[in-house]
Chains A and B, each alone.
Chain A
Amino acid sequence: MNHPAPGRPVLARRLIPLIALAWVTTALPSSSGCLAAQVRPQTVVAIPEVFPDVESRSLLVRTPGLDVVLLRDDDDAADALLMATALLSKLRAERPHLDAGTGQMVPITGFVITRAPGPGQRRQVDDAVRRVRAAPLAELGSVGRARWIDYPVR
């Protein structure tokens, strides 16, 4: 039979965690606003079998909760991914979350890299493109079948 520790009532043992939880909950800012601000949309990089009929080197599509980078399967795919994610970061800084029911399509008409990224960044994008090309084909909604991977972007 368990006996309570001397000088420490059973009720207090049970209440202390509850009190601590209540304090934490009220001390934190509103969870809906705080969490929403911190939850980034899922980011996906995809190479469709047939690139959408948009004259662009690559294409960003933003929807509430999901950002997709569509690349052409060519020799510039790694550079295109590098620049597309840089632009995505910039757009997210301006508008972190889209309103419900709103989408953004961003055809990237052209880019130039004026200073090459460091070896780490280069390896990262080369690896990402390799993984995308190795991924199985799947239906990606309106763009049809594509190879895709998750690719977190800050």
Chain B
Amino acid sequence: MPRSCSTVPTPLLLALLAAGGCDGSDAIPTMPPSTGDLLAPRLPELPLVTFTTVDYDTLSPADGLRAETEIGDHDLSNRPLQELFNVRTVTGLAEDHGYVFAIGLHDYIGNMGAISTTAHAAFGDQYLGSYTAERQNYTPFLLDFGTVKDIWASARVYTDRTCGLTALGDSKHSAWWQFFQGRSAPMWGVSMSYSQAQPTRQQACGSTATASGGGDDSTTGMICYVLITWDLETGQVVDTTVLACTGTGNDQW
């Protein structure tokens, strides 16, 4: 049996290979991997996901949230046949159901309506995360007749907290005309607007009011995350849990 080529000095290698004097399957001497490389765990390919993040500077409570719902009147349209009405975003707490939310809604004329609503979670002046819900409605152009329609989107942040969390929200509203659905379809008369909600705050932690679990003065932190489950073989995302904020217990410290 030919001896392993890896033990042969390189200058003689080609000669030996030609003469069949050694097994060529491992003919190319390589540097052995470092110990770190040998022992290092191997992570699989991570799934490609997008979940909206926000330029927090735009909404930082430290900068001062506007006290009232503001409606940005940025109508870029110069045609009278599309309109946005009653644009607004509201935030709220649904603690019985375990989430805080932002809902954006508006009425519109046009056969296409779209809304993108983002709920942000904050603890004091510390931003924790955002999640965006989007919706788009289409009415066939020839069947629209210029009727007023409505559209809404609801973004949630799930939480097991009952104190300390602040829910903020904002929405982008739009309406336009389009002959048919599809990226290449001609479109005209786009109206766009923007709204921001008043923040909704849970009670402060450590108050005498009802607190969660074993008392919030024992809670040591809050963490917000998104949980994405994916198939390691196909790379397909099989489940995404929207933004959740949870307290970390004092048993960790």
Enumerate chain A interface residues (CB-CB to B < 8 A): 42, 44, 52, 54-55, 60-61, 63, 66, 68, 82-83, 85-87, 89-91, 101-115, 117-118, 121, 135-143, 148
Expressed in whole angstroms, the Cα–Cα distance for A35 and B130 within the complex equals: 40
Closest 4 CB pairs of A and B: A109-B129, A110-B128, A141-B42, A138-B36
Q: Is the CB of B43 within 8 A of A105?
A: no
Q: Which stretch (B1-9, B119-127, B177-185) binds chain A?
A: B119-127
Name the residue of chain B whose CB is nearest to the CB of A115.
B220
Contacting A89 at CB < 8 Å: which of B43, B233, B252? Answer: B252
Q: Which residue in B34, B47, B249 is a CB contact (below 8 Å) of A105?
A: B47
* Minimum Cβ distance to chain B for residue A33 (Å): 24
Within the complex, the shortest CB–CB distance from B94 to chain A, in Å, comes to: 20
The interface residues of chain B lying within 8 Å CB-to-CB of A135 are 36
A66 CA / B228 CA spacing, docked (Å): 16
Give the CA-CA distance A36 to B126 in the complex, in Å. 40
Q: Is the CB of A139 within 8 A of B227?
A: no
Can you offer 17 A-B residue contacts whose CB atoms are under 8 A?
A66-B43, A82-B252, A85-B252, A87-B248, A104-B230, A106-B228, A107-B228, A108-B225, A109-B226, A110-B129, A112-B221, A114-B164, A115-B250, A138-B40, A140-B43, A142-B44, A142-B45
How far apart are A23's CB and chain B's nearest CB, in angstroms?
37
Contact, CB under 8 Å: B248 / A83:
yes
| Interface assignment of B49: CB less than 8 Å from any CB of chain A | yes
Asked if B187 is at the interface of the complex by the 8 Å CB criterion, the answer is no
B43: nearest chain-A partner, CB-CB: A141
A42 touches B41 (CB 8 A): yes
Question: Are A114 and B221 in contact, with the CB atoms below 8 A?
Answer: yes
* Residues B34 and A138 in contact, CB atoms below 8 Å apart: yes
B205 at interface, CB cutoff 8 A: yes
Whether B232 is near chain A, meaning CB under 8 Å from some CB there, is yes
**A-chain residues with CB within 8 Å of residue B221 when the two chains form the complex:** 83, 86, 111-115
Instruction: Write the B227-249 contact mask toward A (1 if CB under 8 angstroms, else 0).
Output: 11111110000100001001011
Contact assessment for B229 and A111 in the assembled complex, using a CB-CB cutoff below 8 Å: no
Q: Tell me if B51 is interfacial: C-beta within 8 Å of chain A.
A: yes
Separation in Å of the A51 CB from the closest CB of chain B?
11
- In the assembled complex, the Cα of A102 lies from the Cα of B230 at a distance in Å of 6
Q: How far is the CB of B159 from chain A (nearest CB, A)?
A: 13
Contact at B248–A86, with CB atoms within 8 Å?
yes
Are A107 and B51 in contact, with the CB atoms below 8 A?
yes
Q: Within residues 164 to 202 of chain B, which ones have a CB less than 8 A from any CB in chain A? A: 164
Q: Closest CB of chain B to A85's CB: distance in Å? A: 8
A105 touches B205 (CB 8 A): no
Segment 139-154 of B: residues with Cβ below 8 Å from A: none
**What is the bound-complex CA distance between A42 and B231, given in angstroms?**
20
> A110 and B223: CB pair below 8 A?
yes
Q: Which of B21-49 contact A (CB under 8 A)?
A: 34, 36-37, 39-47, 49
Closest residue of chain B to A67 (Cβ to Cβ) is B41
Q: Which residues of A contact B40 (CB under 8 A)?
A: 138-140, 148
**Chain B residues closer than 8 Å to A105, beta-carbon distance:** 46-47, 49, 228, 230
Q: How far is the CA of A115 from the CA of B129 in the complex (A)?
A: 20
- In the complex, the answer to whether B225 meets A106 with C-beta atoms within 8 Å is yes
**Known interface pairs A42-B41, A140-B43. Does A109 touch B253 (Cβ–Cβ under 8 Å)?**
no
- Chain A residues within 8 Å of B123, by CB: 112, 114
